Amino acid sequence: MRKTTLAVMTFVTLILLPRVVPAFKNYVSLDPRDIPLVWDLPVPKPKEIETEQIRAQRLQVRAPQNLLDPHQTLDHFYQALLQGGPVRVLHYGDSPTTGDLITSDARALFQKQFGDGGAGFVLIAKPWAWYYHRGVDIDSSKWTIDVAGDTQIKDGLHGLGGASFQGVNGAVANFIVKDGQRTAEVAYLEQPEGGVFTFEADGTELGKVDTAAETSGEERHPAWKSFELPEGSRKFTIRVESGRVRLYGVEFNKRRPGVLYSSLGVNGANITLLSRAFNGAHWTTQLHHYKPDLVVLAYGTNESGFPKFVDSTWGAEMKSAVKRLQAALPDASILLMSPMDRGERDERGEIETIATMPRLVKIEAKVAEDTGVAFFNTFQAMGGDGTMARWYAAEPRLVGSDYIHPMPAGAKIVGELLYGALRDGYNEYKLRQLRSRETQVSKGPESQEGRTAK
């Protein structure tokens, strides 16, 4: 014990000597504040007080470089998350969205933090072999499929997801979904001489739906039928029993607080899908029915291959699509999500960013500013110019050999970036709400005195 005491005293003396004896002022020792780092002594650290202003600045550093929302138009979405939901997100996009890439990772993160509201909206059948929705297996047959922008039916009645499915007796759609779903709502078109379909859960018929319009003439309009699902049921089947039906999709809902994040991708799509191909009144009815709290538009990759279109038309078409959404959903939050980087080989064989991409992203940011909606700069968030070259050389590889489509690991990065920016925006929103309440409380007595004096 005596030796230990002497050792401690000697150690402390060597540390303090330069501060007591001037002759040793240049002697380099250990700062007393660093003693706890080398000696396990119970020296308390100075308490760091993070003020409200510091917290706000810290949040501002993390999110706004990539997520721009100067008009705070995402507040509706944030408020819905704060209240618990159900919160609906509709994420429109092109081929990555078609395969539920990026969206599935964002969905998983939102549902982990804010609750799982259900699987969301899925199409009746697979318009493309790679159509996918994580958590829902689809096996369908004998449907005639029409996709917006590439369809024999030129009426623009494409439902919520941009595709419709016509079937006669023998057409079947099977869905295997994780248990816990409480309702399944089938979207279809009521039309003259419409046929009949049935809905089953684990082989038991839950009901029949006659899609014939009640009114005479050529009137056609969207309709929905919801089914209560038996507890524990997992396999659900739609069968056409008679006539011809035209269906759109099914929304699976757990009927509890949480997030329903629907991936609405159309392969090869560009923004004109929403600005022109969708019938305005029909799409508005769809949007009114689903009541999304947030609509994400993720286009631009396909357009970036056409420089003249980008420089002359892209901005106007994007603005038109946004205006359509704002007219249909004046209270919903809208987020423009820029495309990822897109690479191509130059004359030396090196992978470089396609020349139009930075211009396209800049135009999209300007559209967001002009229309008063939010903007997420995916291109910048993932690394900016040259990202696809780095991603292609990465182990594991993060992008395919076309330098466009992300591999699952790359898609996960983008999904996490999107979620992270929105999560930080949500935290900043809560901070603003707290400041507002504190201000109201602090001004309460003064305001009361002012009202009494008057």
Give the mean pLDDT of 100-111.
97
Give the confidence band of 439 by pLDDT, cuts at 50, 70, 90: confident
pTM listed for this prediction: 0.83
Indicate if the pLDDT at residue 452 is higher than 60: no
Give the mean pLDDT of 230-248.
97
Query: Which pLDDT score is estimated for 21?
Result: 46
Cβ neighbours for 297, distance < 8 A, ≥ 6 positions apart: 92, 93, 271, 274, 318, 321, 322, 325, 334, 335, 336, 337
Report whether 267 contacts 127 (CB < 8 A): yes
Query: Which pLDDT score is estimated for 50?
Result: 44
Question: Whose CA is closest to 324, among 377, 278, 387, 257?
Answer: 278
Question: Whose CA is closest to 261, among 251, 271, 269?
Answer: 251
Fold of 122-255: Jelly Rolls (2.60.120)
Q: Which is higher by pLDDT, 215 or 367?
A: 367
Q: Identify the sign of the CA torsion 63, 66, 72, 73.
A: negative
What does the DSSP 8-state code read for residue 60? H
The domain ranges of the chain are 66-117+256-433, 122-255
- Span 244-267, pLDDT tens digits: 999 999 999 999 999 999 999 999
Query: Which pLDDT score is estimated for 42?
Result: 43
Give the confidence band of 438 by pLDDT, cuts at 50, 70, 90: confident
Q: H/E element holding 323? A: helix 315-328
Report whether 392 contacts 349 (CB < 8 A): no
Residue 317, judged by CB atoms within 10 A of its CB (0-12, 13-18, 19+), counts as buried
Indicate if the pLDDT at residue 57 is higher than 60: no
Give the mean pLDDT of 422-434.
94
3-class secondary structure, 352: strand
Fold of 66-117+256-433: Rossmann fold (3.40.50)
Question: Whose CA is closest to 374, among 113, 66, 162, 158?
Answer: 66
Indicate if the pLDDT at residue 16 is higher than 80: no
**HSE-CB of 142 using CA atoms within 13 angstroms:** 14
